[in-house]
Chains A and B, each alone.
Chain A
Amino acid sequence: MNTASQQPILKTTDLCKRFGGVFATDNVNLDVLDGEVHALIGPNGAGKTTLISQLSGLLKPDSGRIEFKTRNMTGKPAHKFARAGLARSFQITSLFADMTLLQNVALAVQAHAGHSFNFWRNATLDKKLLDPALSYLETTGLANSAGKQVSEVSHGERRQLEVAMALATEPSLLLLDEPMAGMGSEESNLMINILQKLSGSKTILLIEHDMDAVFTLADRISVLVYGRIIATGKGDEIKANPDVRAAYLGEEANA
């Protein structure tokens, strides 16, 4: 994908977050360009989840600036980020466990459809919610499990549901926090396929440990180590970067 001419949809400037004396996010400058799949990688404890939590409004940065679609979003609450068009999935599956898969996605569709101050009409049979919800379940390979409770489906399917719910808010940027976490290779391949299909039409910021997935999917990769971004570039550049090899890829090769 040609990313040279594109505008950043998400841009952070000198973002900092510290817990006690530890810089979890240390002057991070990150650009996600419109239309690209941008992967964020880094060893455990590098501060990936802290960073993504700030980028989705669940954590407030200590200093620095977050711009989304050229609007300053620094310090805004999570629901404002979502309203602006930034959807996230969670590393630790975060679903409505007491509902069916269809109800989960329908609720996400409803959340995107505007306010929910309708007290009377039966929303559990509302085609305006159920039809789109079903189509997102199809996109993520879950159409056959639509009527099952979350508690009845496998870990892999729950991860797929995470993606379906993020998609249902029709985001301009999809923030995926380790969508392949805890998956077997078969489930991972299925997820890579789903994400590959999405990559043509969605801008994605992907946090992922699975290197196969990252090099298959990502247009560009940023490497986060000890809260700092030490390199950003295309897959080959990252593989060749000596700092990255020392800090991250080398570690994996030795392991």
Chain B
Amino acid sequence: MSDHTPATRSPAFWINAALLALLALVPPILFITGQPFWLDVFTRLVILAIAATALNLILGFGGLVSFGHAAYLGLGAYAVGIPTYHALYGGMDAIASFNGFLHLGLAIAISALFALLTGAISLRTRGVNFIMITMAFGQMVFYAIVALENYGGDDGLTIDVRSEFPLISLDNPLTLYAVGYLSLLLVLFIVYKITRSRFGLTLQGARSNEERMRSLGVDCYRYQLVAFVISGALCGYAGFLLGNFTTFISPEMMDWTRSGELMFMVILGGAAFLLGPVIGAAAFILLEQLLREVTIHWHLPFGILLILSVLFFKGGLAGIVDRQRLKGNRQ
């Protein structure tokens, strides 16, 4: 919660600014110079960075380790897939549509509702129990989608038509990347504002010392639940983008291992930092991509690197730059 006034911009601020500038420039340049594959990699990167930033609101700032956040990615993606499916093949007239605003609204509303219902129960627990119960709720969605034979069940569902918006077309890869990138900036700004508001300070107080907050007269549960809902809704938004990006969705994208990956991005990048999850997502995706080109057994070196980074970069990659902040945060 250190305060960077314009007069005293820290090195970390400039590194963050440089990172966001690179994300704005490099992928379009790669695309224009004939490397469309890398634009795809970066599109996936910014979308997962949104999901990780959303997760970080409760994991990093709330101190609540949710192991079920891939479920929101899935809910958001199916909020695109199911209305599109019905618009093409009939049925479910109420939601059958290609309208992007409808898809987006559904993605956010369903994710928020799911977060409200599962958060209300999960937040009665703490620690390992909280991790397990959020994972269980995530798997519940996984199996529910598997059971929906209509929408491909286990085999998944192809989104034949992307969400339609006036003026722009998500079929254009550059447009899709721009939407993803601007969405990331928007979500970062929202999380930034929240973490400095009274709400955010209360959330961080509860992370730091929940018993003390209660003794000050604060009912932490209500704040944590609202944070959980905001986090879920933002993650559902990322799911909406992911559905439009991959155009093929399946239950596999909300498997618990996917939740683990999101958690990993947050922790690898640095949960105490606003841009930690973005750095984590970037490191995760780029490393995965590079190792994949070197060897088909890329999981092994990848896993070893991840373990080493957790062991030696406590506080994540962002923590290497901003040691001063970390000193305070780690006490």
Contact = CB atoms under 8 A, between A and B. Distances in A.
Contact of A95 (B202, B209, B327, B330): B209
B223 A116 contact: yes
- B interface residue count range (under 10 / 10 to 19 / 20 to 34 / 35 or more): 20 to 34
Contacts of A117: 198-199, 223, 226
A65 interface: no
Given A107-B201, A116-B202, A96 B212 contact: yes
A78 interface: yes
Interface string A99-118: 10001001110111000111
Given A119-B197, A122-B196, A151 B215 contact: no
A13 B3 CA distance: 49
Contacts of A79: 214-219
B328 interface: yes
Contacts of B212: 90, 94-96, 165
Interface size class of chain A, counting residues whose CB lies under 8 Å from the partner chain: 35 or more
Contacts of A120: 193-194, 197
B13 to A, nearest CB: 16
A4 B194 CA distance: 51
A78 B214 contact: yes
Contacts of A119: 193-194, 197, 199-200
A58 interface: yes
A123 B196 contact: yes
Interface string B172-216: 000000000000000000000110111111100100110111111
B215 A88 contact: yes
B295 interface: no
A85 to B, nearest CB: 9
B328 A98 contact: yes
B41 interface: no
Given A96-B209, A97-B331, A107 B216 contact: yes
A121 B194 CA distance: 8
A121 B215 CA distance: 25
A118 B202 CA distance: 10
B331 A150 contact: yes
Contacts of B329: 98
Nearest 10 pairs of A and B residues by beta carbon: A82-B217, A111-B216, A116-B198, A151-B331, A96-B208, A78-B214, A116-B202, A97-B331, A123-B198, A118-B198
Interface of B: 1, 3, 193-194, 196-202, 205, 208-209, 211-219, 223, 226, 327-331
